[in-house]
Amino acid sequence: MKHTKNLPLVIVLLLCFIAQSALAQNNKSAGDNLKPYFFVLLKKGPHRDQDSTTAAKIQKAHMDNINRMAASGKLNVAGPFLDEGDMRGIFIFDSGNEDEVRKLVENDPAVKAGRLTYEIHPWMTEKGTCFK
In the prediction, which pLDDT does 41 show?
97
Contact 97, 44 (CB under 8 A): no
Which domains does the chain show, CATH number per domain?
7-126 (3.30.70.1060)
Residue 125's Cβ-count burial label (10 Å; 0-12, 13-18, 19+) is buried
In the prediction, which pLDDT does 16 show?
56
Give 26's Cβ-side CA count (13 Å radius).
8
CB burial string 78-88: b at 16+ within 10 A, e below: beebeeeeebb
Residue 98: what residue type? E
Q: Please state whether 32 falls in left (phi above 0), alpha (psi between -120 and 50) or beta.
A: alpha
In the prediction, which pLDDT does 95 show?
85
For residues 14 and 40, give the distance between their C-alpha atoms in angstroms, rounded to a whole number: 17
In the prediction, which pLDDT does 59 show?
97
Mean pLDDT by 10 residues, the chain (132 residues): 52 55 50 86 95 97 97 94 92 92 97 97 82 59
H or E segment and range at residue 81: none
In the prediction, which pLDDT does 2 show?
46
In the prediction, which pLDDT does 96 show?
78
In the prediction, which pLDDT does 125 show?
84
Our CA angle for 29, 31, 37, nearest 5°, is 135
